[in-house]
Amino acid sequence: MRTSRRPQEPLDLADFDLLLPRQPGTALPEARQDLLEDALWAEAHRTAPDAPRARARRTAWIALPVAAAVIGCAVVVVPDGSGTDTRSPRAGVSLEAGTAAGLPATVDRISLAAARQPALEPRQDQYIYVESKVTGGWVDRTGGKERLVVSPLHSRQVWRSPDGLKSFIYEPDHTFMDRNGEDLDLDPAREVPDRGSYNSVKALPTDPGVLLENLYQGGRMGDPQADWTAFGEVGRLLEEQIATPEISAALFKAAAGIPGVTLMDRTTDATGRAGIALTHTGPDRRQEWIFDRNTYEYLGQREVLVKPYRGLEPGAVTHETVVVKRAVVDAKKELPGGGTL
Instruction: Give the model confidence (pLDDT) of 156-168 as tens digits.
Output: 999 999 999 999 9
Would you say residue 101 lies in a domain? yes
* Tally of structural domains, the chain: 1
Would you say residue 218 lies in a domain? yes
Would you say residue 339 lies in a domain? no
Would you say residue 318 lies in a domain? yes
Would you say residue 1 lies in a domain? no
Helix (H, G, I), strand (E, B) or coil at 171: coil
Would you say residue 3 lies in a domain? no
The boundaries of the domain holding residue 228 are 11-81+96-329
CA-to-CA distance for 49 and 47, rounded, in angstroms?
6
Nearest to 200 by CA among 250, 245, 243, 251: 243
Cross-strand bridge partners of residue 148: 139
- Asked if the model's pLDDT at residue 51 lies above 80, the reply is no
CA-to-CA distance for 252 and 1, rounded, in angstroms?
39
Average pLDDT across the chain, whole number: 78
pLDDT at 176: 76
Would you say residue 15 lies in a domain? yes
* Phi, psi angle pair for 287, to nearest 5°: -90, 135
pLDDT at 26: 39
Q: What is the mean pLDDT of residues 266-272?
A: 92
